[in-house]
Amino acid sequence: MEEVSESALNGNGHTSTTDTEENDEVQIKSMFPLPVPETILRDIIQKSKDFALMNGAAMRSKAKFNQDSLNFAPFVLFPSSFPRIQFEKSCEVQTVLNELMHKVAHDKEFLDSTLADTVRVDLFTRKLYEIYETCYEEGFTQPLSLGLLRSDVMLEGKKCEDEAKCKGQCYCFCRKQVEINTIASGFGHLGPVSRTIHKFIMKELGFGSEKMIKNLPENDALRLICQGIVKAWELYGREESCVLFLVEDVAYNICDQRFHEFYIREHYPHVKVLRKTLTEMHSQAKLGVNKELLVKSDEVSVVYFRAGYEPGHYHTHNEWKARLLIERSRAIKSPSIQYHLAGTKKVQQALAQPNALQRFLKDEEKIAAVQEIFTGLYGLENNEAGNAAFERALKDPEKFVLKPQREGGMNNVYGQEIAEVLQRMTLFERQAWILMDKINPPVTKGYIIRPGGLPIPPIIDLVAELGIFGVVIGDHDTIHVNYQAGHMLRSKISTANEGGVATGLGALDSPYLIDQC
């Protein structure tokens, strides 16, 4: 294949009206010529599968689980076009979101009032909140919290209003936040390795000029996230202490977890890393004389949660006892229990209400930057606003997403099912859910390469979700560390509702930056 010519990049990715008259979807043009000739496609698919496996872009299969084998993670063959200005804005606002979530987590009055109805209805949130109340009343042993956050956004597009510049032939875009993750924010490894895969593919197919490669933004998420963990270890102040990865009983997304662990061991060999489940913590952990967290003979300075975010991780009361033990300890937690609660959907909905941000952010530019990414979020309590949202959802369920207080994917309700689910709920049960305006992202075309997929996959319509990582460390009064920490992009079939790669519905992707208006 020849390198893409300047003419192939005409309009810098602008979407023509003829592209969209066939359907109502906004489309972003791929920067790579499609379709790829079959002989070339067959060859590059096999090469890129092997390249993905050999660079750790892999997962254990849920369908045919074998602890000793891996499949490559699904990936999009070419990186997806993404407006440069929206990518840069997403990166820039992350430190403000870090600050916001840190202050929310340390505002007990706000958490109390925001989650009051939810904890009465939702057992899982109530159990988390009981741990929070216990630690608050006893006095938090460790004032520092480590936030390893990820803000997920999707684009929305509308016809560009700059007629002089674009003559109505393109769309301008904005970003809308899907959610902000405060626990187990994955893809710190899979985000950067996606860029590595796409750089390899581009070079193999003749698109490897410096001009084109520079449109794949550098992604140092793994290093920056691990740097945050090690910084928390340093702030703890005991060189003989270790970092604990709290993991699920069975880790399917094993590479994404292990590469963090291996990076720390390679680049900070003096930092020991343990790996334990909540069940193992119940039988092996205890508090020392000064409430240090001891796992057998090892003192733990930092607990990095890659589990504990859903009810299925707590098999018995023993796992809840282990969670309380960890929270009572001197170890720095990522997340601390207050950070975990700050990441609930109900808090996200409350922050999107008029004037809510002024409680936490005093700078008007910061407030405006955050408000720009908020979409419509609505509570479902038995009051005037909640009942009005309920009625709107019954009338036009396709316009919304119904969300519970859960992380990890596969929990939301979409389309006509929203009306059916809401009608089965009691007024009491509704309080555990929120409504979000459905985001309508632009579509791009491409190939998804999956384990066991067709030798020659079809070209399909895709939509992308961008995640920006952030690291923040601080106590009630002071933020000591605050930085943006790389990114990840995942894409899914445009007709799919959920898009998690670990759940098998999405695919690894990378942003290919275009100068879109």
Q: What b-and-e string marks burial along 226-236, b requiring 16 or more CB atoms within 10 Å of the CB?
A: bbbbbbbbeeb
Structure tokens at 354: 């008029």
pTM listed for this prediction: 0.93
Cα atoms in the 13 Å half-sphere on the side-chain side of 334: 31
Q: What whole-number distance in Å separates Cα of residue 448 and Cα of residue 469?
A: 24
pLDDT of 25? 75
The residues facing 119 across adjacent strands are none
The dihedral formed by the CA atoms of 493, 178, 345 and 340, expressed in degrees to the nearest 10: 100
Q: What whole-number distance in Å separates Cα of residue 97 and Cα of residue 313?
A: 28
Q: What whole-number distance in Å separates Cα of residue 330 and Cα of residue 244?
A: 13
3-state secondary structure 222-238: HHHHHHHHHHHHHHHCC
Report the CATH architecture of 376-438: 2-Layer Sandwich (3.30)
What is the full DSSP assignment across 261-273? HHHHHHH-TTSEE
414 to each of 176, 278, 316, 388, 402, how far by Cα in Å? 18, 32, 31, 19, 7
CB neighbour class for 370 (10 Å; exposed up to 12, middle 13-18, buried from 19) = buried
Q: What whole-number distance in Å separates Cα of residue 155 and Cα of residue 84?
A: 12
pLDDT of 158? 73
Q: What whole-number distance in Å separates Cα of residue 229 and Cα of residue 365?
A: 30
Q: How confident is the model over 100-122, as pLDDT tens digits?
A: 999 999 999 999 999 999 999 99
pLDDT tens digits, the chain, 517 residues: what are they? 333 333 333 334 434 333 433 446 788 989 999 999 999 999 999 999 999 999 999 999 888 889 899 999 999 999 999 999 999 999 999 999 999 999 999 999 999 999 999 999 999 999 999 999 999 999 999 999 999 999 999 999 876 666 566 655 567 889 999 999 999 999 999 999 999 999 999 999 999 999 999 999 999 999 999 999 999 999 999 999 999 999 999 999 999 999 999 999 999 999 999 999 999 999 999 999 999 999 999 999 999 999 999 999 999 999 999 999 999 999 999 999 999 999 999 999 999 999 999 999 999 999 999 999 999 999 999 999 999 999 999 999 999 999 988 776 668 899 999 999 999 999 999 988 999 999 999 999 999 999 998 999 999 999 999 999 999 999 999 999 999 999 999 999 988 766 566 555 789 999 999 997 6
Q: Which residue has the tokens 């407006």?
A: 83
Where helices occur in 272-333 by DSSP H, the ranges are 278-284, 317-328
Cα atoms in the 13 Å half-sphere on the side-chain side of 80: 34
List Cβ neighbours of 433 (8 Å cut-off, separation of 6 or more): 380, 402, 403, 404, 405, 425
Q: Which element (helix H / strand E) includes 133? A: helix 123-138
Q: What whole-number distance in Å separates Cα of residue 503 and Cα of residue 259?
A: 20
pLDDT of 169? 57
- Residue of 190, 262, 193 lying closest to 226 (CA atoms): 262
Structure tokens at 450: 């999956």
The residues facing 472 across adjacent strands are 147, 482
pLDDT of 164? 60
CB neighbour class for 384 (10 Å; exposed up to 12, middle 13-18, buried from 19) = exposed
pLDDT of 375? 93
Cβ neighbours, 10 Å, residue 257:
22
- The angle that helices 190-204 and 38-54 make with each other, rounded to 10 degrees, is 140
3-state secondary structure 444-470: EEECEECCCCCCCCCCEEEEEEEEEEE
Structure tokens at 242: 């270790």
Start and end residues for every CATH 3.30.1490.50 domain found in the chain: 376-438
Structure tokens at 388: 């009005």
Specify the 3-state DSSP secondary structure of 472: strand
Instruction: Output the CA angle 369-371-120, nearest 5 degrees.
Output: 135
pLDDT of 22? 41
pLDDT of 309? 95
List Cβ neighbours of 401 (8 Å cut-off, separation of 6 or more): 412, 413, 414, 418, 435, 436, 437, 438
Q: Which element (helix H / strand E) includes 300? A: strand 298-305
Structure tokens at 86: 């929206």
Residue 184 main-chain phi, psi, to 5 deg: 50, 50
418 to each of 55, 379, 402, 438, 505, how far by Cα in Å? 41, 14, 6, 12, 20
Cis preceding-peptide flag for 442 (omega within 30 of 0): no
CB 255 within 8 A of CB 69: no
